[in-house]
Amino acid sequence: MSENKVYIIPCSGIGKAFGGMCREAAYIVVNELSPDKAEIECLPLVVKGKKEVIDALNANKIITIDGCTAKCAYTDVRVAVREPDAVFMSTDIVKKYRDLKPEKDIMILGKNAKVLSRKLAEEIRDKVDELYVE
Amino acid sequence: MSNSSKPMIALKPKVGIIACSGEKLVEGTLTRVATRIVVEKLRPFITTILCQPLFMAGDINHKGGGQEREFAKKHKTITIEGCEEECGKMAVEKYSAPAEATIYVKDIMKQHPELVPTSPQNLGEDGMKLAEIIAQEVAKKVDEIYKNQ
């Protein structure tokens, strides 16, 4: 865990492609678009209430990404830590690009789902830039 | 036409599979892919997926809220853990009932040091082979639990 990072918490959704898109977008942000500013953290550890993770999240900015109306990432972070600084939904990006219908594949995302994930990641990158404090 | 290729109707309760899904570790992705292999390919008619984070979020007002907890109270569950934190096991125990079995991905990885997954984002060929092996282990446990219900 690092100090002064924007933490990205994607939902761990495993039943639909929308959850996988959250995860993929988070990886694109932390590995490619904003590696020096953003870091991913495990949502299951937040649910477990691991102290080091909760403390690190409390001390930094948090962005949650959810794939369905249960909003697990947002809800669990709000309950275990605090209100996130920004929230994203993978379903919003799907509505924005209706010509790119995500495939149903979950194990390995389909072509459209990957393109949508990158578009979502770019929006998250802009938010990371806004929230990040040197 | 023979009916042998048709799936048998599941007469016993399904077994719930809970992958830790940890986003930060490659082992988390392995739990996730292995779970999908079990539920999609190996034991599609007798298993179902439960989302670990939904155990906490499930209590909040939401359409269908609490279903994960209720299912795990009334059905046998298997958790698949990517690390020693045992997030899946802890969540199901805290919000529902103790899991019937737990599979530790790291133990299986130790048995196959020749298979090195690429990254949490992309398991690569080795990672996919490992996920298949993990899924086979989970399927064996599913059969054991399902049979003894």
- A114 in any annotated domain: yes
Q: What is the pLDDT of residue B60?
A: 58
- Tell me the average pLDDT across A39-56: 94
Q: Give the neighbor-by-neighbor strand order of the sheet with A86-89.
A: A38-40, A6-10, A61-66, A86-89
The reply to whether residue A31 touches residue B55, judged by beta carbons under 8 angstroms, is no
On whether residue A55 sits in a domain, the answer given is yes
Note the pLDDT of residue B83.
Answer: 96
Residues of A in contact with B40 (CB under 8 A): 107
- The percent of chain B in helix, strand and coil, each rounded to the nearest 5, is 50, 15, 40
B116 touches A: beta carbon within 8 Å? no
- Residue B5's pLDDT is 56
Classify domain B15-147 at the CATH class level: alpha beta
| Contact criterion met (CB < 8 Å) for A70 and B64 | yes
Cβ-Cβ contacts under 8 Å, A21 against chain B:
none
Is residue A67, in this structure, part of any structural domain at all? yes
Q: Which residue has the tokens 């997030």?
A: B87
pTM assigned to the model: 0.91
- Report if residue A1 sits inside a domain: no
Q: What mean pLDDT is predicted for residues A32-48?
A: 95
Structural domain harbouring A39: 6-131
Q: Report if residue A65 sits inside a domain.
A: yes
Q: Does A15 touch chain B (CB under 8 A)?
A: yes
Q: State the pLDDT at residue B67.
A: 82
Q: Do B20 and A44 touch (CB under 8 A)?
A: yes
Number of structural domains found in chain A:
1
Nearest to B120 among A13, A27, A46 (CB): A27
